[in-house]
Structure 1
Amino acid sequence: MSKRQSAKYKIDRRLGENIWGRPKSPVNKREYGPGQHGQRRKGKLSDFGLQLRAKQKLKGHYGDISEKQFRKTYEEANRRRGDTSENLIALLESRLDAVVYRAKFVPTIWAARQFINHGHVNVNGRRTNIPSFRCKPGDVIEVREKSKQLVIVLESVQLAERDVPDYIEADHTKMTAKYARVPGLGDVPYAVQMEPNLVVEFYSR
């Protein structure tokens, strides 16, 4: 299990964007970075700076996964046929923690990782506690019977701040979700603009 190295809202403030679209984000009040120099005028970013920022934003959105894990995901996306940036998004969205988060079983991507680690999720009827587990189209993800009445689950499905995307068929009465198809970049409900093409440029330098 990769350990989160920074508080999640520090990522928002460092990037100056509310990358999960959450009402609690400090960026909603202050759009500048943390610390005493946070309000200094920002210089124009170089091409490298833009690429690095795009990578930090995309990596941060998925729970700030480790650099090693993120690079391996890029390398697999690059090996696959087709557009590497679209492949990268498809691989990230097929992670079990991403599917649990998108299905609204938990309020945040961080909670999704912990929820899976603690053994609250079945995939196709089998208990799975690996957040990076790769889901395939047709896989059925289910909150385990003993976990369906947990407060975090009951509160999360009621959240109005985001909707379940159409590539996931969620049934909140049964607490099940089907990973229906592989999404493209335009299908994923990011709260801010993601630029996976710049991530590809960063790694292919």
Structure 2
Amino acid sequence: MSRYTGPRLKVMRALGVELPGLSRKPLGERDYPPGQHGQRPRRKSDYGLKLIEKQKLRMNYGLTESQLQRLFKEAKNAKAPTGHKLIELLERRLDNFVFRAGFAPTIVAARQLVRHKHLSLNGQVVNIGSIRINVGDTIVLKERSRRMPMVLECIGQPSLSRPEWLHCDEKQFSAVVTRLPDAGEIPFPVDEQDVVEYYAVRL
């Protein structure tokens, strides 16, 4: 399954939650599923509830299904609780780091910054958003990229408050990882145990 490129607000309405990595737009008054029957209350099955939790992660971080499955398998083999480890691995993606540092309004936009080589990681120009960051890693925005209207708007007023696991120097357009992210610092509600149970019977 390829990466989703369709209407983002429609996805958030279907999942019933605002996903800051997917879109800056709020749900507003239309916080019900899209479609002519969206306002009718529907009772979801146990499978449906678990699917929604899984889709929250996939859509917010902009992953394909196969990418999320690979991360789940890695998290399952780790010593830490699977759900917590999965969220840690997702938060440690470079494109998410750029977004959480306040250089881009969404993860989608952050991935474009990385792909177009606007940033360096530890002094090296990179263009792969899935690179996994570690404690001490530093990103710096290139000189020519610091005048971009999107960057200037976001650096002064980021979409989200910056998490405690990174430190951002707005004057230098840089950010450093101070510690590994914790599962409780994810910027939207998700039941990671439902995600674990969803994949437990499918992988």
Q: Do Structure 1 and Structure 2 share a fold, with TM-score over 0.5?
A: yes
- State whether structure 2 residue 69 is matched by structure 1 residue 68: no
Q: Deviation at 1:24?
A: 2.6
Match of 1:196 among 176, 186, 192: 192
Q: Deviation at 1:37?
A: 1.7
Correspondence list, 1:1-205, <5 A: 3-20=3-20, 24-25=25-26, 27-43=27-43, 45-63=44-62, 65-159=63-157, 161-188=159-186, 190=187, 192-205=188-201
Amino acid at match of 1:121: L
Q: Deviation at 1:161?
A: 4.6
* Equivalent residues of 2:84, 2:183 under 8 A apart: yes
* Equivalent residues of 2:104, 2:110 under 8 A apart: yes
3-state SS in 1 of match to 2:67:
helix
* Equivalent residues of 2:140, 2:175 under 8 A apart: yes
Paired residues, what number?
199
Partners of 1:31 and 1:146 lie apart in 2 by 40
TM-score, length-normalised on structure 1? 0.91
Q: Deviation at 1:182?
A: 1.0
Give the unaligned 5+ runs of structure 1.
none
3-state SS in 1 of match to 2:175:
strand
Partners of 1:33 and 1:159 lie apart in 2 by 30
Q: Deviation at 1:40?
A: 1.8
Partners of 1:167 and 1:182 lie apart in 2 by 6
**RMSD over equivalenced CA pairs, Å:** 1.7
TM-score, length-normalised on structure 2? 0.92
- Percent of counterpart pairs with the same letter? 39
Give the unaligned 5+ runs of structure 2.
none
Q: Deviation at 1:9?
A: 1.4
**Deviation sequence 1:34-88 (CA, Å, 0-9, x none):** 1212112211x2221111110011211112x100101101111111112111110
Partners of 2:177 and 2:35 lie apart in 1 by 41
Partners of 2:51 and 2:89 lie apart in 1 by 20
Partners of 2:81 and 2:9 lie apart in 1 by 31
3-state SS in 2 of match to 1:157:
helix
